[in-house]
Chains A and B, each alone.
Chain A
């Protein structure tokens, strides 16, 4: 227990985080680039085409990883908010602040690719499909968190308000998801859903798995990098930050 506590408090120190993240970041960047490139080449050029959708199914390799990430980032944001509220660890809040726009961007990618995918499969740019609808709601949740943080003049209040809202949102996400699924099956029983498909052959899902992993690494790398910037911004009056500036200059 003692070890965990000291670990948490070490993590809480921006200086320690700044140091450890510098060592971790290159690994995540490398993994992200390698995995995304490998997954793209495999998914775009080598995976067999779908017997129903032809080559348009290759959109899955960007749609599904983005959708996964969109949800995971919201959960991580809420966890970071909880850590910030309970242990007053500032780095957690800095990370949460940096995650929100990234999550919104991922939600946008999932929405856009889903809508474009709809043209060859449904013949329309927008369908109130269960997954697309919950993605749209998730985008609104992200925008709400971002707007709330920005609305406060005091940064600390904005951080705490955004943390509370992220936690409220994360409790609601599964409820929203299930109710939207239920609503969709009630109203559109007989449409072809792009994502609930029979078992995919290995050549199809292996690149998908690689892409998902690559996107996760990308998320971690970007969050580490931007959190480091945020540390510099918020702690710019601290001695060690000034020393960094001195070394670099």
Chain B
């Protein structure tokens, strides 16, 4: 352990603003990248599912109309 107390750790020997700014921005960007990638994937999957359901629905209706026509 390079520091005597938690206060010391936060103070970083007087360099706190620089160390924590660098680490903070890096951490925020890394987390932001992950969140963005996750949101992107979810959005795409939702979009694909919507399209899938819509297609399934149109397939069914076209089946049904086709069937009715056949009966008629």
- Interface residues, chain A, with chain B CB atoms under 8 Å away: 36, 40, 44-49, 54-56, 58-59, 62-63, 66, 102, 105, 108-109, 112-113, 116-117, 119-120, 218, 222, 225-226, 228-229, 232-233, 236, 241-242, 244-246, 248-249
Question: Which residues of A lie under 8 Å from residue B30 when comparing CB positions?
Answer: 36, 218
Contact check: which of B15, B33, B45 meets A248 at CB < 8 Å? B45
Of all chain A residues, the one with the shortest Cβ separation from B26 is A62
- Give the total number of A-B pairs whose CB atoms are below 8 A apart: 103
- The yes or no answer to B52 lying at the interface (CB within 8 A) is yes
Question: B-side binding surface: helix, strand, loop or mixed?
Answer: helix
| 10 more CB-based (< 8 A) A-B contacts, given A44-B9, A222-B37 | A58-B15, A62-B23, A66-B26, A109-B29, A116-B18, A225-B38, A229-B37, A245-B48, A249-B52, A249-B53
B1-48 contacts to A, CB under 8 A, are 1-3, 9, 12-15, 18-19, 21-23, 25-26, 29-30, 33-34, 37-38, 40-41, 44-45, 47-48
Question: Which residues of A lie under 8 Å from residue B61 when comparing CB positions?
Answer: none
Given contacts A54-B13, A62-B23, A113-B25, whether A120 and B48 have CB atoms under 8 Å apart is no
- The yes or no answer to B55 lying at the interface (CB within 8 A) is yes
Question: Which residues of B lie under 8 Å from residue A246 when comparing CB positions?
Answer: 49, 52, 56
Instruction: Sort A-B residue pairs by CB-CB distance and give the 9 closest, nearest first.
Output: A245-B48, A249-B49, A56-B15, A113-B22, A55-B13, A245-B52, A55-B12, A62-B26, A59-B22
Question: Which residues of B lie under 8 Å from residue A233 when comparing CB positions?
Answer: 44
